[in-house]
């Protein structure tokens, strides 16, 4: 990726080395947000009971925990550039549609942190909390992306951020709220299917961002799109389930198969149009 003379976002909150972002001492109950995050953990092949148990007995912050990396370390600078690119792109696209884009905050943390959706754990991977409009990421996930998921590269990392910002776009447009209301009335199988459509739309929105950011500022280099496609393939529900248990159970998918994730990212990347991402009316995902 190229960031020639591009700006850095000021909407990055660094909680690394902060003792867990002010986590409460153990004994707390499990709220809806924690359950939602447990589902996110399932997406990354993590036993959700681990998340639920950790939420009930969240450890007290350690006063002796070492300080985190400096604010201008290379990873943080990269993330600030990527987030700025999403801000500039979505501000322009929202304005063209007669709407105002409200920028999200991206929170860097280590291990665990408190969110408006419950306790966030590193094992869950990156996630978006609609209640506080923040994207959360433990940068150790990027090492996982490279080693466990065999999807290295800077644009693979940018794709992850763009996907979570895609959820923010859905939140601003009222899509997330409608889907959540529908899921509450649905069977488990139907609720999973709705989640898949929501996640695939976020993949498509990541592609829309990439197309428009590159057209406006030339951020992409040779091989960048392939990096994103490898990441989308690696974190498809079927890929993760096969890695974790040796087989896939399509009815339990919540994010979509590898093929679906690649297809919808490509669709957004090729069209660059928000209206190309209506997964909820698509007959075939």
- Name the nearest CA neighbour of 138 among 196, 83, 72, 68: 68
Instruction: Name the more confident of 5 and 160.
Output: 160
113-to-37, 81, 122, 123, 267 alpha-carbon distances in Å: 12, 23, 9, 12, 34
Which of the given ranges, 148-152, 207-211, 232-236, has the highest pLDDT on average? 207-211
Q: What is the CA radius of gyration of the chain?
A: 18
- pLDDT band (50, 70, 90) for residue 166: very high
Q: Are 223 and 162 in contact (CB under 8 A)?
A: no
- Name the nearest CA neighbour of 121 among 200, 195, 33, 180: 33
CA trace torsion 78, 243, 124, 38 (10° rounding) = 150
Sheet holding 105-108, edge to edge: 12-14, 105-108, 134-137, 127-129
The H-or-E segment that residue 107 falls in is strand 105-108
- pLDDT band (50, 70, 90) for residue 23: low
pLDDT at 25 over 80: no
pLDDT at 39 over 80: no
Tell me the pLDDT tens digit for each residue of 46-64: 444 444 444 444 443 333 3
């Amino acid at each position: 990726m190229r960031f020639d003379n591009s700006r850095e976002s000021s909407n990055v909150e660094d909680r690394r080395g902060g003792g867990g972002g002010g986590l409460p001492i153990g004994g707390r109950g499990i709220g809806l947000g924690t359950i939602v995050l447990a589902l996110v953990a399932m997406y990354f092949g993590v036993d959700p009971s681990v998340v639920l148990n950790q939420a009930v007995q969240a450890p007290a912050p350690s006063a002796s925990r070492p300080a985190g990396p400096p604010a201008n370390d290379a990873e943080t600078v990269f993330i600030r550039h990527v987030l700025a690119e999403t801000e500039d792109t979505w501000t322009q696209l929202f304005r063209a549609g007669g709407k105002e884009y409200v920028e999200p905050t991206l929170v860097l943390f280590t291990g665990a942190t408190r969110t408006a959706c419950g306790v966030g754990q590193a094992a869950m991977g990156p996630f978006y909390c609609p209640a506080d409009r923040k994207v959360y990421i433990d940068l150790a996930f990027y090492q996982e992306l490279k080693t466990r998921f065999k999807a290295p590269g800077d644009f693979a990392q940018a794709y992850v951020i763009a996907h979570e910002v895609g959820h923010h776009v859905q939140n601003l447009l009222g899509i997330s709220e409608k889907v959540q209301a529908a899921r509450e009335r649905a069977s488990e199988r139907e609720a999973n299917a709705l989640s898949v459509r929501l996640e695939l739309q976020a993949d498509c929105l990541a592609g829309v961002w990439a197309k428009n950011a590159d057209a406006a500022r030339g951020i992409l280099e040779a091989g960048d799109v392939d990096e994103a496609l490898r990441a989308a393939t690696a974190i498809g529900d079927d890929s993760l389930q096969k890695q974790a248990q040796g087989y896939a159970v399509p009815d339990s998918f919540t994010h979509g198969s590898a093929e679906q994730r690649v297809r919808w990212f490509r669709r957004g990347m090729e069209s660059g149009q928000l209206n190309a991402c209506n997964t909820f009316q698509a007959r075939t995902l």
